[in-house]
Amino acid sequence: MNLVIVESPAKARTLESYLGAGFSVQASVGHVRDLPRSGLGVDVEKGFEPEYVTIEGKEPVLRKLRAEAAKADSILLATDPDREGEAIAYHIVEALTARKRSLRERFRRITFNEITKNAVLAALEQPGEIDLPRIEAQQARRILDRLVGYRVSPLLWKKIKPGLSAGRVQSVAVRLLVERERERRAFRSGTWWRLRAHLAANGHVFTADLAALDGVAIARGRDFDERTGALKSGRKVVLLDRERAEALRARLADATFKVVKLQEKQSKRSPYPPFTTATLQQEANRKLNLGARDTMRIAQALYEAGHITYMRTDSVTLSEAAITAIRSRVAARYGEEYLSSAPRRYKTKSRSAQEAHEAIRPSGTDMRTAAELGLTGRQKALYELIWRRAVATQMADARLRHLNVHVDAEEARFRAAGKVIEFPGFFRAYVEGSDDPDAALENQETVLPDMREGQALENRKLESRKHETKPPPRFTDAALVKELEADGIGRPSTYAAIISTVVDRGYAVRQSKQLVPTFIAFAVTGLLEDHFPNLVDTGFTSEMEEALDEIARGNVDWRAYLGEFYSGGNGLEARLVEREAAIDPREASTVRLQDLTPRVRIGRYGPFLELERNGDRLTASLPEDVAPADLSEEQAIDLLQKRAEGPDRLGEDPDSGEAIYLMEGRYGPYVQQGERTDGRKPKRASLPKNVQPEDVSLAMALKLLAMPAPLGTHPESGDPVKVGIGRYGPYVVHQKDFRSLAENDDPLEITFERAMQLLSAPKTRARRASATPLREVGAHPDDGESIAIYKGRYGPYVKHGKTNASLPRGTEPDEVTLDMALDLLRKRKERDATRKAGGRRGGPRKKSSRK
């Protein structure tokens, strides 16, 4: 019997369908060993020797693999063909042979770039050995990440705020976001005006824009200085303001518009290379609105199902078999005229690209469509994107005709530009930035009527138009991936995790598709720039990636490289010792923004404003939704002034006599009854979303503070029906049965009858969606009840009866086996039992002497 070990259950199921009898295919469910989650896990004194441990929850998986390996004549390691897959294979061998070294002779390594029957069977014919230099490169990367994360992060805790983290690539990505936000804050908008003429030739209307006056070009966006908003020095252009533009428009209203020049030229557009990991993430973000992590998750599922080639690659090469298959599909679907005259072969420019991998394309040689595969939803959308991009590579160039028309009216020259697609070529399959090529073809064309030089045109309308320069855009997932790849930072396969970490750690928040850095990101980046500049330098980080590539090629000793990075005279260890005493925590936790008098400080409960005035220290919390580039001087002073003046006093509570205040907090405006004293927290209530602070009266405040307030008595139970405003918005409740109010329901005005309508309707709250499991794992052997995986607020978890157990970090729901689920549930019950018995050590808790 032959044992084949892969890393995912989905991949195992696909291989089982190909191999049949004589083969047992088992999944390791990702990594089985790693550095410990707590502590450095690296013995620096012993040549950076890693201290690997079995990952929590993986012992049942290893037991099963050991049992299968003991029966197998040969053991084939078929994990992914990259460094991470190589590392998984290596650690499987180490874990399975720790007690039985003789098993080592049975292990062989096989790799394939696509999970198709032909590719798998071909790999079986050419088994090899584990690539040790690639293991060393992966191990060096993990240790580098540990050294940076576990040595620098505690410094951030001491100097800025507990819970912060630094990362070898993460910190560089955060700095890119911060630098862009600094540019936006420094930006000054420039304004100019132009005229647009609506002209007609032979009855066909088109538009032309003012380009020059008396032969001098009209100012455009590129003529303005981004930091001053004024024209750049030395620019010979005409700057029109509103008054001059309006005067010119009035004067040209009756002028004769005449064609003075026609320029026509032909151009060609060639198709883009097939997808790499980075370009797939960028296009999926632009076209499908998918984040990098979602893109990789969907692509992983497509790969494991055998639909696409390996999705972690920076190569744009295509196999000869793939080129032949694509060209055959193009001829059949679009016609011979849409084929390129010769096969197109793409060459990867990056020196570090892994040419052993192909680009991302549909697997096999059938080039089946999403419909033929029966795909739906996001898998269908992403597969179609990959299919169209791959097909376009072997299609003919698109041919375009451009027409520039110059029109004069007195001293003013107007220009109109037209573009016609004479032959769509690869546009028929793929247009970048659009998910509908046919619609995109129409949008790409600007058709101008036939004209001749000297022809007089009819002036239908003249309008003046204001233009403003725009600040540099914030990064989206796509833009950040593009920047990281261009700078040679990280690997394409890690970009999704990097972006998720940046958001999860509070260094950026998502607004629409933009990644907006937080004030904490500014403070951390500032400290690293001042004291550890190498750690946030794109060039230095790129050199580290090149060094890891050299280790993978066997050209650099990994221990020597780590020693130079960490233990050398200018290494990280010495720098940490030198700088720790020099860093002032107050200065490190202070953010000074351009053109802002108050300082921003990072406090225990978040960022706040601070200003010294007449010997007094004024402070005020910053609203959560304020971006660093958007915080104005007026807004900051207003927040400080309001805090200094104290809250608005609306009146007194007639029952208690306590003052009722209207206040502004980090999460928005709220009302408060009484004042905070030692040991007493005053009652507070947030304002409903549709209520403005200036509209709040004493009566309204008392209503809000009384919530949850009774509306009436339930006719069946006799218990009260109440209305309230909670963390997730306004609601009505009866006997712990909560129902959210509709968007047009006012919690201050809702009637008992309306509350009963809501309570009698079936529940439709989004949080109830978790009642539908993400996946059924199997039946529990003790009682036969179902074990399933659900989506929870803090991530996926496994559930059996009333017992819930979170999945280990990095474990996907599809990777969980029944044995793994049982082990997680067992450990959760043991932890619960330990707590009930009286603490971590298992002994009884001492009763407190305090009453």
Count other Cβ atoms within 10 Å, centred on residue 750. 18
Instruction: State the average pLDDT over residues 361-373.
Output: 92
Q: Distance between CA atoms of 738 and 761, rounded to whole angstroms?
A: 11
The answer, yes or no, to whether residue 760 has pLDDT greater than 70, is: yes
Strand extents, DSSP E, 110-256? 191-201, 204-213, 216-217
Cβ contacts of 832 within 8 Å, gap of 6 or more: none
The answer, yes or no, to whether residue 358 has pLDDT greater than 70, is: yes
Q: Distance between CA atoms of 69 and 91, rounded to whole angstroms?
A: 15
How does pLDDT run across 600-635, given as a tens digit for each residue? Answer: 999 887 899 999 888 888 998 898 889 999 999 999
Pairing of strands 2-6, 74-77: parallel
Dihedral sign from CA coordinates of 288, 294, 296, 301:
negative
Structure tokens at 115: 């999970």
The answer, yes or no, to whether residue 841 has pLDDT greater than 50, is: no
Q: Distance between CA atoms of 561 and 547, rounded to whole angstroms?
A: 8
Instruction: State the average pLDDT over residues 117-125.
Output: 92
CA distances in angstroms from 225 to 186, 187, 201, 675, listed in the order given: 11, 9, 39, 51
Which neighbouring-strand residues pair with 619? 610
Count other Cβ atoms within 10 Å, centred on residue 87. 23
Nearest to 629 by CA among 170, 188, 190: 188
Q: Work out the angle at residue 180's Cα, subtended by the Cα atoms of residues 178 and 185, and round it to the nearest 5 degrees.
A: 90
Say if residue 9 is preceded by a cis peptide, omega within 30 of 0.
no
Sheet with 23-27: strands ordered across: 23-27, 2-6, 74-77, 107-109
Q: Give the position of tokens 């897959």.
A: 85
Structure tokens at 222: 């590129």
**Helices 59-71 and 818-838: crossing angle, nearest 10°?**
140
Note the pLDDT of residue 770. Answer: 44
For residues 362 and 114, the answer to whether their CB atoms sit within 8 Å is: no
Cβ contacts of 356 within 8 Å, gap of 6 or more: 81, 113, 315
Note the pLDDT of residue 763. Answer: 72
Count other Cβ atoms within 10 Å, centred on residue 141. 25
Q: Single out the catalytic residue among 52, 303, 310, 797.
A: 310
Residue 844 pLDDT class (50, 70, 90 cuts): very low
Q: Distance between CA atoms of 595 and 609, rounded to whole angstroms?
A: 14
Which neighbouring-strand residues pair with 847? none
**383 in active site:** no
Nearest to 470 by CA among 188, 689, 782, 751: 188
Q: Distance between CA atoms of 577 and 174, rounded to whole angstroms?
A: 24
Structure tokens at 463: 């309008």
How does pLDDT run across 31-70, given as a tens digit for each residue? Answer: 999 999 888 999 999 999 999 999 988 999 999 999 999 9
Note the pLDDT of residue 231. Answer: 92
How does pLDDT run across 267-316, given as a tens digit for each residue? Answer: 999 999 999 999 999 999 989 988 888 899 899 999 989 999 999 888 89
Q: Distance between CA atoms of 687 and 671, rounded to whole angstroms?
A: 7
Q: Distance between CA atoms of 394 and 274, rounded to whole angstroms?
A: 10
Q: Distance between CA atoms of 357 and 313, rounded to whole angstroms?
A: 6
Note the pLDDT of residue 848. Answer: 41
Residue 840 pLDDT class (50, 70, 90 cuts): very low
Q: Work out the angle at residue 221's Cα, subtended by the Cα atoms of residues 219 and 224, and round it to the nearest 5 degrees.
A: 80
How does pLDDT run across 303-321, given as a tens digit for each residue? Answer: 989 999 999 888 899 989 9
Stated as kind and residue range, the H or E segment containing 421 is strand 412-423
Instruction: State the average pLDDT over residues 356-361.
Output: 83
Which neighbouring-strand residues pair with 670? 663, 686
Of 182-196, 222-236, 427-441, 745-759, the one with minimum mean pLDDT is: 427-441
Q: Regarding predicted confidence, which is higher, 768 or 94?
A: 94
| SS3 (DSSP) at 303 | helix
Stated as kind and residue range, the H or E segment containing 384 is helix 377-392
Q: Report CA Rg, the chain.
A: 33
Nearest to 23 by CA among 91, 90, 78, 95: 78
The answer, yes or no, to whether residue 388 has pLDDT greater than 70, is: yes
Stated as kind and residue range, the H or E segment containing 522 is helix 519-531
Residue 572 pLDDT class (50, 70, 90 cuts): very high
Q: Distance between CA atoms of 152 and 576, rounded to whole angstroms?
A: 8
Number of separate helices (H) and strands (E) present in the chain = 24, 33
Structure tokens at 739: 């129902």
Query: Own/partner pairs for 441-444, CB < 8 Å, 24+ apart?
Result: 444/419
The answer, yes or no, to whether residue 409 has pLDDT greater than 90, is: yes
How does pLDDT run across 415-439, given as a tens digit for each residue? Answer: 999 999 999 999 999 876 555 555 5
Q: Distance between CA atoms of 283 and 444, rounded to whole angstroms?
A: 18
Note the pLDDT of residue 491. Answer: 82
Strand extents, DSSP E, 525-636? 590-591, 599-603, 606-613, 616-621
The answer, yes or no, to whether residue 819 has pLDDT greater than 80, is: no
End-to-end CA distance of the chain: 68
Q: Distance between CA atoms of 294 and 497, rounded to whole angstroms?
A: 10
Q: Regarding predicted confidence, which is higher, 488 or 815?
A: 488
Note the pLDDT of residue 25. Answer: 94
Instruction: State the average pLDDT over residues 796-809.
Output: 86
Residue 440 pLDDT class (50, 70, 90 cuts): low
Q: How much is the mean pLDDT over the chain?
A: 88
Instruction: State the average pLDDT over residues 398-414.
Output: 95
DSSP one-letter code for 687: P
For residues 558 and 564, the answer to whether their CB atoms sit within 8 Å is: no
Residue 771 pLDDT class (50, 70, 90 cuts): low
Cβ contacts of 533 within 8 Å, gap of 6 or more: none
Cβ contacts of 263 within 8 Å, gap of 6 or more: 403, 404, 405, 406
Q: Distance between CA atoms of 696 and 121, rounded to whole angstroms?
A: 73
Q: Distance between CA atoms of 409 and 459, rounded to whole angstroms?
A: 10
Dihedral sign from CA coordinates of 390, 393, 396, 401:
positive
Residue 372 pLDDT class (50, 70, 90 cuts): very high
For residues 720 and 709, the answer to whether their CB atoms sit within 8 Å is: no
Which neighbouring-strand residues pair with 406? 261, 415
Structure tokens at 198: 């609506």
Fill in the amino acid letter for 570: N
Structure tokens at 340: 């390129």
Q: Distance between CA atoms of 815 and 8, rounded to whole angstroms?
A: 6
| SS3 (DSSP) at 733 | strand
Q: Distance between CA atoms of 600 and 662, rounded to whole angstroms?
A: 24
Instruction: State the average pLDDT over residues 796-803.
Output: 88
Dihedral sign from CA coordinates of 351, 352, 356, 361:
negative
Q: Distance between CA atoms of 490 and 149, rounded to whole angstroms?
A: 15
The answer, yes or no, to whether residue 165 has pLDDT greater than 80, is: yes
Nearest to 663 by CA among 680, 652, 649, 676: 649
Q: Distance between CA atoms of 60 and 820, rounded to whole angstroms?
A: 6
For residues 775 and 765, the answer to whether their CB atoms sit within 8 Å is: no
Residue 847 pLDDT class (50, 70, 90 cuts): very low
Of 132-136, 243-247, 496-500, 760-764, the one with minimum mean pLDDT is: 760-764
Structure tokens at 126: 């050419």
